[in-house]
């Protein structure tokens, strides 16, 4: 007796929701509403995160800066350790060398400012007198100019005898936060450089065991992106600083070292940082020499900027840290709006890390789905649990 044929089950369709109060809600409106409340939830979570970050910024900002510094120091420490030097000694050698270079650079900048500030102020006063005379010739009155410069001076100084106590209190608080931040940066750099892998393994163990592989893989991708970004940015910053300083030296400008240091720091903000900081060299040329030299200096800054954007960044950062220039400008603007200079500094590496980790997680999820489909298509024999 043959068994009865198996009739495949016909899937039942879920009925559409009925009308509410006799009015059928269009599908487009229901779809938009479903996504709208989810987006509002995401925005609320991001807002809460930013509030917590702002509350703890005195601690978190130095730790993040220490992480960036350790990303630059770890490859050097690994190389020294590979040559047979103990890791602790390698870490201290790299950190102490960095501190010595930083102190020497600050001393050199301070010495140049001290020796040339009086000449720069005299040149600035002469240029301001020429600008005032030019504006008067255009039709502005002396009273209007005095009123304008007086408002600018009051805004910069924030003067007022009643605010002296508050100003002193704010200055002391800022100095205390700065000193504490420097110590946190130093200790974060040392410990993340010396035992960053151990700290990361401890962090991964906080997650459930099924998710640890994905978290660990995401961390490896993020660290690779961060180290590549920091290494490339340091090379680009040195190139920008040396190039603009050489142009300023050829033009006979003062404050060569301060200009180079300012450009080096500004170059850590991609696309716009070196150009904005290079404007200081243009301003020095305009004040001390004249408009023709300032225009030549501006052309040199633009040439260095083009070299950075079209040669250095594509060659050094490559595919690993590839972010579209429009996205770079947008995220820098958003970062500066949300967190000032620090936000502009970390906006691009944070975007690159999120992009890389997102692609990694989506790829791993796709691989798991394909594995499940292949196992199901092969039948029970392909399942190692079922085969046993």
Selection from 364, 290, 350 nearest residue 321 by Cα:
350
pLDDT for the residue 366 = 60
Of 60, 62, 83, 89, which is closest to residue 194 (Cα–Cα)?
A: 89
Residue 219 lies in a domain: no
Angstrom distance (rounded) from CA 357 to CA 221? 6
Q: Does any domain span residue 369? A: no
pLDDT in the model for residue 104: 86
Whole-number Å distance between alpha carbons of 268 and 232: 10
19 in a domain, yes or no? no
DSSP β-bridge partners for residue 20? 23
Q: pLDDT tens digits for the chain (388 residues)?
A: 566 665 555 555 555 555 555 567 788 888 888 899 899 998 999 889 888 888 888 888 889 989 989 998 998 999 998 898 899 899 999 999 989 988 888 887 777 767 666 666 666 666 666 666 666 666 666 666 667 666 655 554 444 444 444 444 455 566 677 788 888 889 999 999 998 888 999 999 999 988 888 889 899 989 988 888 888 888 888 888 899 889 988 988 877 888 888 888 888 877 677 778 888 888 888 877 778 888 898 898 888 888 877 777 777 665 556 667 777 778 888 888 887 878 888 888 888 888 888 888 887 666 555 555 555 555 444 443 444 3
Which residue range(s) make up the domain with 70? 57-116+179-206
Q: Does the CA dihedral 62-67-71-73 come out positive or negative?
A: positive
Residue 72, domain member (yes or no): yes
Distance, C-alpha 92 to centroid of its chain: 26
Beta bridge partners, 23, equal 20
In a domain, 121, yes or no: no
Q: How far is CA 12 from CA 7, 9, 15, 336, in A?
A: 15, 9, 9, 53
267 occurs within a structural domain:
no
Whether 376 is in a domain gets the answer no
Yes or no: say if 321 and 225 are a contact pair by the CB < 8 Å rule: yes
Q: What is the chain's Cα-based Rg?
A: 30
DSSP states of 221-250: HHHHHHHHHHHHHHHHHHHHHHHHHHHHHH
Burial of 71 per CB tally in 10 Å (0-12, 13-18, 19+): buried
348-354 LR contacts (CB < 8 Å, sep 24+):
348/229, 348/269, 348/270, 348/323, 349/68, 349/225, 349/226, 349/229, 349/230, 349/321, 351/323, 351/327, 352/225, 352/229, 352/321, 352/322, 352/323, 353/222, 353/225, 353/226
Q: What is the pLDDT of residue 156?
A: 45
Please tell me the total number of residues recorded for the chain in this structure: 388
Per the CB < 8 A criterion, the answer to whether 227 and 74 are in contact is yes
Instruction: Give residue 44's pLDDT.
Output: 93
In a domain, 258, yes or no: no
CA distances from 363 to 222, 366, 368 (A): 15, 5, 9
Q: Domain count for the chain, please give it.
A: 1
pLDDT for residue 363: 73
Establish how many alpha carbons lie within 13 A of residue 202's alpha carbon, considering only the half-sphere containing its beta carbon.
Answer: 6
- Complete DSSP assignment for 15-75: PPPPPBTTBPPPHHHHHHHHHHHHHHHHHHHHHHHHHHHHHTHHHHHHHHHHHHHHHHHHH
Q: Which pLDDT score is estimated for 132?
A: 66
Q: State the DSSP code for 380.
A: G
């Amino acid at each position: 007796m043959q068994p009865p044929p198996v009739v495949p089950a016909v899937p039942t369709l879920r009925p559409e929701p009925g009308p509410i109060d006799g009015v059928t809600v269009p599908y487009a409106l229901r779809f938009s509403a479903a996504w709208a409340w989810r987006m509002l939830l995401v925005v609320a979570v991001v807002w809460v995160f930013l509030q917590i970050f702002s509350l703890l910024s005195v601690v978190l900002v130095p730790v993040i800066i220490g992480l960036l510094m350790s990303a630059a120091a770890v490859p050097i420490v690994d190389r020294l350790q590979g040559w047979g030097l103990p890791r602790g000694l390698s870490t201290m050698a790299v950190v102490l060398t960095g501190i010595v270079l930083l102190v020497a650079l600050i001393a050199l900048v301070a010495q140049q400012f001290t020796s040339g500030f009086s000449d720069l102020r005299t040149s600035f006063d002469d240029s301001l007198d020429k600008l005032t005379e030019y504006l008067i010739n255009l039709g502005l009155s002396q009273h209007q100019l005095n009123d304008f410069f007086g408002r600018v001076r009051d805004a910069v100084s924030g003067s007022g005898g009643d605010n002296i106590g508050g100003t002193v209190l704010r200055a002391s608080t800022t100095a205390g936060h700065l000193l504490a931040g420097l110590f946190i940066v130093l200790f974060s750099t040392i410990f993340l450089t010396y035992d960053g892998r151990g700290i990361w393994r401890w962090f991964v163990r906080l997650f459930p065991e099924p998710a640890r592989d994905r978290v660990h893989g995401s961390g490896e991708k993020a660290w690779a992106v961060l180290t590549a970004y920091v290494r490339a940015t340091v090379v680009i910053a040195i190139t920008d600083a040396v190039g603009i300083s050489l142009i300023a030296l050829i033009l006979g400008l003062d404050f060569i070292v301060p200009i180079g240091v300012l450009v080096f720091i500004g170059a850590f903000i991609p696309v716009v940082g070196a150009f904005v900081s290079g404007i200081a060299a243009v301003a020095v040329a305009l004040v001390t020499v004249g408009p023709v030299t300032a225009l030549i200096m501006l052309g040199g800054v633009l040439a260095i900027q083009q070299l950075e954007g079209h040669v250095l960044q594509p060659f050094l950062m490559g595919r690993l840290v590839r972010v579209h220039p429009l996205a770079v400008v947008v995220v820098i603007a958003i970062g500066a709006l949300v967190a000032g200079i620090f936000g502009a500094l970390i906006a691009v590496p944070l975007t690159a890390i999120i992009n890389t980790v997102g692609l990694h997680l989506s790829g791993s999820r796709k691989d798991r789905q394909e594995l499940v489909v292949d196992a199901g298509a092969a039948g029970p024999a392909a399942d190692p649990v079922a085969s046993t």
